[in-house]
Amino acid sequence: TEHQHARYNPLRDDWVLVSAHRVKRPWQGQVEKPPPEDVPRWDPKNPLCPGATRANGEVNPQYEGTFVFPNDFPALQPDAPEPGDSDHPLFRAAAARGVCKVMCFHPWSDLTLPLMSLAEIRAVIDTWAELAAELGASYPWVQIFENKGAMMGCSNPHPHCQVWASSFLPNEAHLEDRTQRQHLTQHSVPMLLEYAEQEALRKERLVVENADWLVVVPYWATWPYQTLLLPRRHVCRLQDLREDERDSLASIMQRLLIKYDNLFEVSFPYSMGWHGAPTGPYLEEDCRHWQLHAHYYPPLLRSATVRKFMVGYEMLAQAQRDLTPEQAAERLRSLPEVHYKQRTK
């Protein structure tokens, strides 16, 4: 906890510098604004609300659960043309096609995932699985991700996520495919299945667990309170989860996200996303090396207003963190599982 050292990340085949003593240094840098506490439950001007008009002129239905619609400003489109031929190997381009969707979790703008009921969270999980199966029938990669909070680039406070299906394997997917395949070849067990078993035994980085899932601050974590959500059994894709596993996933997600909010008593910002075996043409291939998992990357370090910046050394050399994963896990683990907004005063 007092001496810097480097830790290896086998999932990304890279290293992170751990410098726990640096968290003690005084901070005179940027201070963020806490997220607003007075988000209206319904706002006719909010394009994600039921009955509101979106930028393209379409009117949302009066939805009462989850609501999925095509992104009005998609990063990927299914009919993009082929790029021109390159005249030099240093100037290469490739086709990039796909579909981008937005998924609202709930009709209320002031209700984030940790404040939803287990049934409402389960409905979110079911819709994720449906989209993963539907888009994965033809696209090699379906990326489900949530940017929560303005600090992580979220432009709308309404609880929602995005789903981008692409005609190619993105960089992170390609990297995790290679490292997990190598591990299975060398050790005859999926990497993250073995890792989950080890973390369940060691417990020093464990945050929450139940019969089907566990959440840890990974040994190689980069962000201060980064976590990794893992199933205990071998599961390749989100749509492969059993009914009982979806129920227990809703429970463990709620517990984790309540702890996140309780850490600094604020609606905790993060970027999260699911990684699982590729789809489309890969559905016919052997993908046993893959293990389903979700990454949570929160930026807050010291308080609700002081974040960890990935700049300088991180951009030009390698990732660096200011407290050990064990310290972060212990702090998260010790937090109550009743949301600070719902405690009896």
pLDDT value, residue 2:
67
Closest listed residue to residue 32, CA positions, set 270, 226, 307? 307
Tell me: is residue 268 an annotated ligand-binding position: no
Tell me: is residue 232 an annotated ligand-binding position: no
User: Distance (Å, rounded) from C-alpha 148 to C-alpha 152?
Assistant: 6
- Asked whether residue 27 carries a pLDDT value surpassing 60, the answer given is no
Closest listed residue to residue 156, CA positions, set 295, 66, 45? 45
- Asked whether residue 31 carries a pLDDT value surpassing 90, the answer given is no
**Could you tell me if 105 and 124 are in contact, meaning their C-beta atoms sit under 8 angstroms apart?**
yes
> Computed from CA positions of residues 126, 69, 76, 162, in that sequence, does the dihedral angle turn out positive or negative?
negative
Tell me: is residue 235 an annotated ligand-binding position: no
Q: Give the fold, CATH level 3, of 36-80+93-335.
A: HIT family, subunit A (3.30.428)
Contacts of 138 (CB under 8 A, 6+ apart): 280
Tokens of 139: 């696209």
Tell me: is residue 204 an annotated ligand-binding position: no
The mean per-residue pLDDT over the stretch 169-194 comes to 98
Tell me: is residue 186 an annotated ligand-binding position: no
Tokens of 17: 């510098």
Name which residue leads in pLDDT, 316 or 305. 316
pLDDT value, residue 42:
93
Q: How confident is the model at residue 37 (pLDDT cuts 50, 70, 90)?
A: confident
Active site members: 160
Tell me: is residue 236 an annotated ligand-binding position: no
Closest listed residue to residue 280, CA positions, set 131, 166, 169, 137? 137
pLDDT value, residue 180:
98
Tell me: is residue 72 an annotated ligand-binding position: yes
User: Distance (Å, rounded) from C-alpha 112 to C-alpha 335?
Assistant: 19
Tell me: is residue 153 an annotated ligand-binding position: yes
User: Which residue carries 């190619």 as its tokens?
Assistant: 168
- Asked whether residue 168 carries a pLDDT value surpassing 60, the answer given is yes
Tell me: is residue 314 an annotated ligand-binding position: yes
pLDDT value, residue 66:
98
Helix (H, G, I), strand (E, B) or coil at 186: helix
User: Distance (Å, rounded) from C-alpha 302 to C-alpha 323?
Assistant: 10
Strands in 213-286 per DSSP E: 213-216, 227-231, 270-275
In the chain, what percentage of residues exceed pLDDT 70? Answer: 95
Question: pLDDT tens across 189-209, in order?
Answer: 999 999 999 999 999 999 999
pLDDT value, residue 24:
58
- Asked whether residue 30 carries a pLDDT value surpassing 80, the answer given is no
| CB-count burial class (<10 Å; 0-12, 13-18, 19+) for 286 | exposed
68's enclosing H/E stretch is strand 67-70
271 DSSP β-pair partners:
147, 297
pLDDT value, residue 91:
94
- Asked whether residue 26 carries a pLDDT value surpassing 90, the answer given is no
| CB-count burial class (<10 Å; 0-12, 13-18, 19+) for 263 | buried
Name which residue leads in pLDDT, 231 or 308. 231
213-216 β-sheet, strand order: 67-70, 98-104, 160-166, 141-148, 270-275, 293-297, 227-231, 213-216, 206-209
Question: pLDDT tens across 231-263, in order?
Answer: 999 999 999 999 999 999 999 999 999 999 999
Say how many C-beta atoms besides its own lie within 10 A of residue 264's C-beta: 17
pLDDT value, residue 284:
95
| Percent of the chain as helix, strand, coil, to the nearest 5 | 30, 20, 50
User: Distance (Å, rounded) from C-alpha 181 to C-alpha 93?
Assistant: 27
Helix (H, G, I), strand (E, B) or coil at 187: helix
How many angstroms separate the Cα of 101 from the Cα of each of 92, 164, 300?
28, 6, 28
Name which residue leads in pLDDT, 34 or 272. 272
Domain edges within the chain: 36-80+93-335
User: Which residue carries 């937090």 as its tokens?
Assistant: 335
pLDDT value, residue 25:
56
pLDDT value, residue 35:
73
Tell me: is residue 105 an annotated ligand-binding position: no
- Asked whether residue 28 carries a pLDDT value surpassing 80, the answer given is no
Say how many C-beta atoms besides its own lie within 10 A of residue 276's C-beta: 24
User: Which residue carries 């893959």 as its tokens?
Assistant: 290
Contacts of 147 (CB under 8 A, 6+ apart): 153, 154, 162, 271
